A = this chain, B = another copy of it.
Amino acid sequence: MIGQYDAQTKCLVALDSIIFGFDGEVLKILLVKRGIEETSTTWSLMGGWLRPEEDLDQAASRILKELTGLENIYLEQLYAFGAPDRDKISRTVSIVYFALINVVDYDERVSDKYEARWFELDKLPALLFDHGDMIKMAIDKLRYKAAQHPIGFELLPEKFTIPQLQKLYEAIFNTTFDKRNFSRKFLSTGLLKKLDEKQRGHSKKGAYYYQVDLEKYHSQFNSFLNFTRVNTNS
């Protein structure tokens, strides 16, 4: 490779994962209480070191499992953080991953045995190193994606009501939307399939369950492309 060999630096490589969870009301992040010292009360993302035999994805998954018990979670690489002084003890470049999960599905698995705990986005504790910046970037990415096209269905149960979907969007954007208009506009995307079944116990009338039409959902990811492609045939 290129560059002065004597000017290069060997680094530790860390993997830090941000796990977003939605419990039907608020958006949360999973953190572990393990700082530099045993007595530390600093909270941290799901972090650990890269091992010689691993690639980056494998290491991120292995670390998440070790710290929380969570397996088979789709982790997406977000960004590499490498400020020279981000870890004062040893020069470390951190590759950050993130995942969206439905808290209810996974809550059992992360309790007790592990020191991991869910925190609401606006009630985060003191965080290790630049983990606050990492979380901020992940939230920005989540909002950017949700602004481009409907996302976040991973955060909901397989079947969900429109009020649940609205709560998720309100949690992501930290705002409120008008009920009737939110519902009307989301239904007009044609992405949701109405089921025959109603949710019971939340209101007298009950709200219908919906599912995402995954085929339509994935094709709409290329909306502008389709828009230009159509031109060649019209």
A contacts, CB < 8 Å to B: 1-5, 7-14, 32, 34, 36, 44, 47-56, 63, 67, 77, 79-84, 87, 91-93, 95, 128, 143, 146-150, 169, 173, 175-178, 181-182, 184-185, 221-229, 231-234
Contact = CB atoms under 8 A, between A and B. Distances in A.
Contact of A3 (B2, B7, B48, B149): B48
Given A10-B12, A13-B9, A222-B147, A80 B52 contact: no
Given A143-B225, A225-B146, A176 B55 contact: no
Interface of chain A: mostly helix, strand, loop or mixed: mixed
A61 to B, nearest CB: 13
B77 A79 contact: yes
B92 A11 contact: no
Contacts of A229: 175, 177
A3 B17 CA distance: 14
B228 A50 contact: no
A84 B53 contact: yes
Contacts of A53: 84
A80 B83 contact: no
| The 7 A-B residue pairs with the shortest CB-CB distance in the complex, in nearest-first order | A147-B225, A181-B231, A8-B49, A3-B48, A56-B82, A3-B49, A10-B10
Nearest to A56: B82
A211 B220 CA distance: 28
Given A77-B80, A93-B56, A228-B169, A51 B9 contact: yes
A52 B148 CA distance: 38
Contacts of A56: 80-82, 93
Contact of A11 (B13, B147, B228): B13
Nearest to A183: B231
Contact of A52 (B12, B84, B224): B84
Contact of A9 (B49, B83, B150): B49
Given A49-B9, A80-B77, A177-B231, A224 B93 contact: no
B93 A93 contact: yes
A219 B153 CA distance: 25
A8 B232 contact: no
A225 to B, nearest CB: 3
